[in-house]
Amino acid sequence: MYKKTLLSCVAGALLATGGIAVAKESPYSDPEPAIEYRQKSFSLIAANFGDLVAMLKGKKEYDAAVAQRRADAVAALSHLPLEAFAVKGSNEGDTKAKPAIWSSWSDFEEKMAALQSASTELAKVAGSGDMDAFKTAIAATGKTCKGCHDDYKNK
Ligand code: ASC
């Protein structure tokens, strides 16, 4: 209980000074490498998710083992970007991230969490060969990508 109160005080103090408190720390604490780290994470998410979409659309033959690997990758990678957005000063620089991320931090966190849970669900069905479930889970995951980009990513 005491620990929780202390943590929320620390979080409040960080927010007041322009930093954002998250449970995990990015491997980088300087803005430039943190921006690069989250961009690379998103690139890998897009590459893996894009391959799943290609299989769904029949642009590529569905392969259960490959689909499983791609979906596992997306689910794991989905946990990486958030902590790098929390790096102080990473709102400025070579980034398409909108300032709204930091002014609506808890909503942004929720949207990142939505990607994490949708991709975890996708990973449960991607290798099953059940194409209906695959389609539903891909649509749900893609919706979380788009939902966040609409509010928080510049074109
Ligand atoms: C992708 C990709 C995105 C999302 C989005 C889903 O493959 O790179 O940003 O899917 O288009 O709506």
pLDDT band at 19, cuts 50/70/90?
low
How remote is the CA of residue 146 from the centroid of ligand 1, in Å?
A: 6
C-alpha atoms less than 13 angstroms from C-alpha of 152 in its C-beta half-sphere: 21
Q: Answer yes or no: are the C-beta atoms of 70 and 52 closer than 8 Å.
A: yes
Q: What is the pLDDT of residue 5?
A: 45
Distance of CA 69 to the CA centre of its chain: 18
Report pLDDT digits (tens) over 82-130. 999 999 999 999 999 999 999 999 999 999 999 999 999 999 999 999 9
Tell me if the domain spanning 2-11+27-152 has CATH number 3.20.20.70.
no
Given the CA of residue 149, which atom of ligand 1 is nearest to it? 9
Written as six digits, the tokens of 116 are 């994490």
Angle of the 105-125 helix axis to the 131-152 helix axis, nearest 10: 160
Q: Which sequence spans correspond to the domains of the chain?
A: 2-11+27-152
Quote the CA–CA distance of 102 and 87 in Å, as a whole number: 11
| Ligand 1 within 6 A of CB of 145 | yes
Distance of CA 143 to the CA centre of its chain: 12
Q: What is the mean pLDDT of the chain?
A: 90
pLDDT band at 21, cuts 50/70/90?
low
Q: What is the pTM of this model?
A: 0.86
How remote is the CA of residue 40 from the centroid of ligand 1, in Å?
A: 15
Report pLDDT digits (tens) over 60-89. 999 999 999 999 999 999 999 999 999 999
**pLDDT: which is higher, 14 or 147:** 147
| Ligand 1 within 6 A of CB of 135 | no
Q: Which residues pair with 97 in a beta bridge?
A: 153
